Amino acid sequence: MIPEATVARLPVYLRALTALADRGIRTCSSEELATAAGVNSAKLRKDLSYLGSYGTRGVGYDVDYLRYQIAREIGVTQDWPVVIVGIGNLGHALANYSGFRSRGFRVVALLDADRSRHQEVVAGVAVRPFDDLEAIVHEHAVAIGVIATPAAAAQDVADRMVACGITSILNFAPAVLAVPDGVDVRKVDLSIELQILAYHEQRKAQVGQAAASVDGVDGLDGLDGAAGVGSGQLDGATIGVDK
């Protein structure tokens, strides 16, 4: 129903609206909200139009009302129990991340296959054996699992999760997961993001060099247009030198 690209931006709008609300702003135009969210206003309006007509022409959007509508649409008005598997450095960081709790995600269990970690308590939650997964998933009706294990273990963990009835997986391990239809997987790969930046960085260097050697003009001609809103952050990197 709602395009995938729009779904991916709704949480950004939600965050921007929360920031506006925190500053005491009660009403905003699509232009203001778009700026706060880092997109252009046409896209914002089209995105919001998929949810319904929650704005008022000539006026704008009621911040709190729109915030509630988006939250409801995404599903963050309800409570989502989450299990995190793999309590290494990243697992620790995730368990402690306050942004989960504040958006309706409750970490009900931390699991790790390593026995030496089972005495640990992270962010107020005890680390338990991985084999407890099924019991926990059934007890708390967990639908979302987070994988923060090494790559080698990721597929096994995913298989076990699916077997227990988990239908959404957030994967931080640098591995491609095979899952049945009906199971959603999203992956976050830290090193891939850096590699994408490196690619553009390399191109900038090449272009800058070529331009400098050919006609002495700096290849990065946009630097004076400072403070332009970071455009297109969601879709990908902004590319300084185009074409």
The separation between CA 21 and the C-alpha centre of its own chain, rounded to angstroms, equals 21
Residue 6 binds which of DNA, a copy of itself, none (CB < 5-8 A, kind-dependent):
DNA
Q: Which is nearer to DNA, 49 or 209 (CB)?
A: 49
Q: Least distance (Å) from a copy of itself to the CB of residue 131? A: 22
CB atoms under 10 Å from CB of 91, counted, come to 23
79 interacts with, out of a copy of itself, DNA, none, CB within 5 to 8 A per kind: none
Q: How far is the CB of 53 from DNA (least distance, A)?
A: 3
Q: How far is the CB of 12 from DNA (least distance, A)?
A: 12
- Tally the C-alpha atoms within 13 A of residue 173's C-alpha that lie toward its C-beta: 24
CB of 80 to a copy of itself, least distance (A): 6
Chain contacts with DNA (rule: CB under 7 A): 3-6, 28-31, 39-43, 45-46, 48-49, 53-61, 232, 235
The SS3 assignment for 168 reads: strand
Nearer to DNA, 28 or 109 (CB): 28
| Cβ atoms of 38 and 231 closer than 8 Å | yes
Query: From a copy of itself, DNA, none, which one binds at residue 129 (CB under 5 to 8 Å depending on kind)?
Result: none
Which residues does 138 contact at the CB level (< 8 Å), separation at least 6? 164, 165
Whether residue 41 contacts residue 34, with contact meaning beta carbons closer than 8 Å, is answered with yes
Choose the contact partner of 229 out of a copy of itself, DNA, none; CB within 5 to 8 A by kind.
a copy of itself
- Minimum CB separation of residue 241 from a copy of itself in Å reads 7
Q: How far is the CB of 58 from a copy of itself (least distance, A)?
A: 27
Q: How far is CA 101 from CA 79, 94, 96, 218, in A?
A: 9, 11, 9, 47
186 binds, among a copy of itself, DNA, none (CB under 5 to 8 A by kind): a copy of itself
State the DSSP code for 186.
E
Contacts of 71 (CB under 8 A, 6+ apart): 14, 77
- Which of 59/134 has CB closer to a copy of itself? 134
Q: Which does 57 bind (CB under 5 to 8 A by kind): a copy of itself, DNA, none?
A: DNA
Question: In the chain, what are the helix, strand and coil shares in percent, each to the nearest 5?
Answer: 50, 15, 35
